[in-house]
Structure 1
Amino acid sequence: MIPLSRIRDSFEGVIPSVIATTDADGMPNVSYLSHVHYVDDHHVALSNQFFSKTAHNVAKNGLATVMVVNGLTGVQHILDLVFDRSETDGELFDKLSAHLAILEQGMASVMRLKAADIYRVTDCREVPAPHPLEVAPERDPPDLMAATSKLSRLLSQAGDTESLLDTTLDGLAHLFGVGHAMVLVPDESARRMITIGSHGYDRFGFGAEVPIGEGIIGVSAATRQTVRITDLSRGRRYAEAVRSMAGLSHADSIPLPALSMPYSQIAVPLVAHGRLVGLLFAESEARFAFRHGHEQAFEIIAGQLAHALLLAEQERERPAPRPAATAEPQAAATSAKIFRLRFYPRDGSLFLDDDYLIRGVPGRLLKYLIDEYLKSGKQEFLNREIRREGSLMLPDIKDNLETRLILLRRRLSEKAGPIRLVSTERGRVRLEIDGRPVVEVVET
């Protein structure tokens, strides 16, 4: 029997698999499967969706035969299966369900997973090809363990939240060859993921949002499961949705950075102590860019990054602040150029002149900083004093303030406008303004 670990590329679902069963009278039945999932060297899982005849036959004799196809080489293998059990919850079920939700975007009511059926594999053999194709020899896979180890060491040396994010994205690019990636964090409502860092795109997209539950990013965040797609040509509806999201032009949205025609994508949730801290996402225009080895490596990195981000939030601030630098209140600077900020308390949306800037906690945060600046000329703020400000509506002690400050600072830098937020040292930020802001509060 061929070990299943030697044919892992046949379990990527690029080419649909075929399952054959027989009823009690020996009448055969053949159906297509969207995916055969590798469990271990002796077990596979089949997604039980709506194949009632197949399920009926298996219930009678517990036997099935499946053909899987390597999406890279076209090589076929036959698996002889014996039914073991069905799982309707748990990690494996959640993983299969999340994967199916991505591939069948828009057909959830039809394609909802009923169960993950686990089969024991009694034999695995290659199907002889009558006219074998000439296949270029596969290149040796990259040494992912070495890359993972090096990136792990670099992360352990990162001193703050911002360097953790930059180290991760730079490491994925230079050590793993990942050209396009981003890190997202949940917003205060836990209904959206917000882009806080990106690499390789023609725009950074800081502040771009993805609703939790939608697309590979949203599904991974909702289920807290790694989702990996090796060939999105079977899921073009999702790719179209990504392009639509990337091209949003509403007045109160930031376009999501995205490839126009991705074929491989992977989303890995950052979970620490049962809490969704963020999400790591990468994509490529090549098929099979992310294999199962990448999934394992990225999950290791994601786990370390999640715990590091959580620890970074518990920042060590100085017990006694130094005297804060102040400037003349802007109201007195009548000759300075005026720019307008429009603030919507309903959702914390903030517009710079007529351009959407940010919303939520970062929007309320910038409004607070500017109000303080206009009242007293104050420019330097400690994180701990910000945390005590009730108008910011920070959820609790685990408020992700550091990541909100990074998001706001990067968004302001990307806009290259008259407002800047500078991190002067740990737990302290400085507001810099060119001109005289006029703040308008719009109640709706």
Structure 2
Amino acid sequence: MKEIALRLRDMETFFEGIVPSIIATSSANGIPNVSYLSHVVLVDGERVGLSNQFFNTTMANLAENPKAAILLVDGARGGQCRLRAVYEKTVFDGPLFNRVSTQLDATSAQVGMTGIMRLRGVDIFRVVDITIYPSPVAAPIEPVAREPLLEATASLAMTLAHLPAHIDTALDATLEWMRDTLGCDQTVVFLADENSGQLATAGSLGYERSGVGSEIAFGDGVFGSAARERDIVKISDLSRARRYSAAVKASAENENLTRTIAPPMDAETMSQIAVPMISGGHLIGVLGAESRRRLAFTAVQEAALTLAAQHLAGVIALSQALPEDQKPAPSGQPPGKNTHRIEIRYYAFDDSIFIADEYIIKGIAGRLLNHMLRAHVESGRTGFTNRELRLSTSLRLPEFKDNLETRLLLLRRRLADKISPIQLVPTGRGQFSLTFDGQPVFVEETTLDGD
């Protein structure tokens, strides 16, 4: 009979368990033992996992001789597969254990054995040889078609679903997925402020400057157009559009003078794609990617980005809707023994704020930071809550959809991006503290030249 070698990842139908699988082991003295398996799962391209329930003899044999033969049956075509494998370890917890345990519990309940077929562990085997024996009456075995990007996107969705409800971790996980899985040269995520009609850069990877805190108006460029139209915008050749990039680069070099944060931009970009993030009919932001290659983003990648964008939008919307902690905000840590002066300059006409001669941010975010820093200088407090900021009339927050969580997120990430001696650290839901590397001191407000 002809033997056909095949990769584990091409053998999806063999792991469905329609026909029970078998494991054969032998002791050090060569005494064989054969046992039926309830579940065999694919772990990765080289390993399989076996449900361990009643395998006393099997485990005793493996302790003496780690080699095993595993027989799988293709429930769709009737063929058989023999795996020569080596036992590596048994896992007793974690995602793989939980998945197999849940599946075992569900199938046990169907045959009236609830609580009897309990999973002890998942035995991990490294496969060293695969031999396929096609059924003489079935069609030839063909590798199962796979959709790697769909699988990778599903993995991202599960990652986002299990992360704590912190927008920061969800943003970073999505950006890294775009870079590592989709192979995007540059990735960026913007959060939307529908009151002002602006996108604000919340994070990016692959750029010379992160651009965190920079703003793009709805309708401006590829990303702004995606926000205004709430539709995907894709450009596959930007070789003729370089003026905007040059202007952005010039403004980035004079940030302290212009008090304008330049958005992330790569002068060599050839392809761009922008996908709106929408939840409950509301624009949450825009997910963007760029590449130095022409025609870089395929229809499949576009679909993957669309799914990722909507999952991220849902996470952000949920995080903003969850109730805040009701306990008082922790007082945080005092400035400490470092007596170095941290000079703070605030300009009321545009609510811009400088820390240690570095421009940080302006607008409502600048007003928020000024409010908290003055409260600290006057009373020594470091802990604050979203609730108290909303109730403060001096901050003049918009009455409708103030986007306070988004503004504080951008402020926190901007301070971190600037490696500022003053940082904003989350301490609970809707709670945060200021931390200091020195002693903050307000310098008398002055008027800048040209104001």
**TM-score, length-scaled by structure 1:** 0.62
Q: Distance in 1 between matches of 2:358 and 2:226?
A: 31
Q: CA deviation at 1:348?
A: 2.1
2:346 match: secondary structure: strand
Note closer, same or farther for the CA distance 1:182–1:320 as it changes in structure 2 (3 Å cut).
Answer: same
Q: Which deviates the most, 365-374 or 389-398?
A: 389-398
What pairs up with 1:255-294 in 2 under 5 angstroms?
255-294=262-301
2:349 match: 346
Q: How many residues align?
A: 298
Between structure 1 and structure 2, the one with the greater Rg is 2
Question: 2: CA distance between counterparts of 1:323 and 1:301?
Answer: 35
Q: Does 1:158 align with 2:163?
A: yes
Is structure 2 residue 369 aligned with structure 1 residue 366? yes
Q: Cα distance 1:342–1:221, how it changes in 2: closer, same or farther (>3 A)?
A: same
Structure 1 position 265, deviation (Å): 0.5
Equivalent position to 2:184, from 131, 154, 178: 178
Look up the match of 2:442.
438
> How big is the shift at 1:183?
0.8
Which amino acid in structure 2 is aligned with residue 388 of structure 1?
A: L
- For residues 282-329 of structure 1, give each alpha carbon's deviation from its aligned partner in whole angstroms, at most 9, with x where no partner exists: 00001121112222221121112112211111233222226635749x
**Which residue in 2 is equivalent to 1:356?**
359
CA distance in 1, matches of 2:325, 2:355: 33
Q: Spell out structure 1 runs of 4+ moving beyond 4 A.
A: 325-328, 441-444
Q: Give the direction of change, closer, same or farther, for the CA distance of 1:441–1:313 in structure 2 (3 Å limit).
A: farther
Higher mean Cα deviation, 335-344 or 374-383?
Answer: 335-344
Secondary structure of the corresponding residue to residue 247 of structure 1: helix
CA distance in 2, matches of 1:141, 1:343: 57
Q: CA deviation at 1:425?
A: 2.9
What's the Cα RMSD here? 2.6
**Structure 2 unmatched runs, 5+:** 1-144
- Residue aligned with 1:232, SS: coil
Aligned-residue offset at 1:353: 4.6
Q: How does 1:3-14 map to 2 (within 5 A)?
A: none
Kindly indicate whether the alpha-carbon contact (under 8 Å) linking 1:326 and 1:377 is maintained by their aligned counterparts in 2. no
**Helix, strand or coil for the counterpart of 1:340?**
strand
Contact 1:338 1:438 in 2 (8 A): no
Which residue pairs with 1:216 in the alignment? 222
- Given candidates 178, 193, 201, the residue that maps to 2:199 is 193
Structure 1 position 336 matched with structure 2 position 342: no
- Residues of 2 paired with 1:393 and 1:165: CA distance? 28
Letter in 1 for 2:324: E
Q: Give the Cα separation in 1 of the matches to 2:277 and 2:214.
A: 18
Matches within 5 A, 1:305-320: 305-320=312-327
Q: Could you tell me which of 243, 247, 253 is aligned with 1:244?
A: 247
Residue type of the partner of 1:180? Q
Residues 332, 434 of structure 2: 8 Å contact kept: no
Deviates more, 1:410-419 or 1:395-404: 395-404
Contact 1:243 1:258 in 2 (8 A): no
Deviation at 1:169, TM superposition (A): 0.5
Pairing of 1:56-67 with structure 2 (within 5 A): none
Q: Where do 5+ consecutive residues of structure 1 fail to align?
A: 1-139
Are residues 1:296 and 2:299 paired?
no
Matches of 1:323 and 1:417, distance apart in 2: 22
Amino acid at match of 1:151: L
Partners of 2:361 and 2:330 in 1: how far apart?
30
Amino acid at match of 1:379: T
> Which residue of the other structure, out of 394, 399, 413, is the alignment partner of 2:397?
394
Label 1:141 to 1:290 Cα distance change in 2 as closer, same or farther (>3 A): farther
1:24 counterpart residue number: none
Offset, 1:253 = 1.3
Alignment partners' CA distance in 1, 2:401 and 2:162: 23
In structure 2, what is the Cα distance between the partners aligned to 1:292 and 1:141?
16
> Structure 1 CA distance, aligned partners of 2:303 and 2:297?
10
Residues 181 and 281 of structure 1 are in contact (CA less than 8 Å); yes or no, is this contact kept in structure 2? yes
Which residue of the other structure, out of 144, 148, 151, is the alignment partner of 1:146? 151
User: How far apart, CA to CA, are the structure 2 residues paired with 1:141 and 1:357?
Assistant: 47
Instruction: Check whether the contact 1:191–1:211 (CA below 8 A) recurs between aligned residues.
Output: yes
- SS of structure 1 residue aligned to 2:420: coil
Code of the residue aligned with 1:294 in structure 2: it is Q
**Is the Cα–Cα contact under 8 Å of residues 329 and 383 in structure 2 kept in the other structure?**
no
- Judge conservation of contact 1:247–1:256 (CA < 8 Å) in 2: no
Residue 429 of structure 1 corresponds to 432
Partner of 2:68: none
State the 1:379 CA deviation. 0.5
> Which letter maps to 2:246?
R
Q: Secondary structure at the match of 1:220?
A: helix
Q: CA deviation at 1:274?
A: 2.5
Q: CA offsets per residue over residues 65-122 of structure 1, 9 Å max, x none?
A: xxxxxxxxxxxxxxxxxxxxxxxxxxxxxxxxxxxxxxxxxxxxxxxxxxxxxxxxxx
Letter in structure 2 aligned against 1:371: R
Q: Secondary structure of 2:199's partner?
A: strand
1:321 counterpart SS class: coil
Q: In the alignment, what sits opposite 1:20? A: none
Residue matched to 1:85 = none
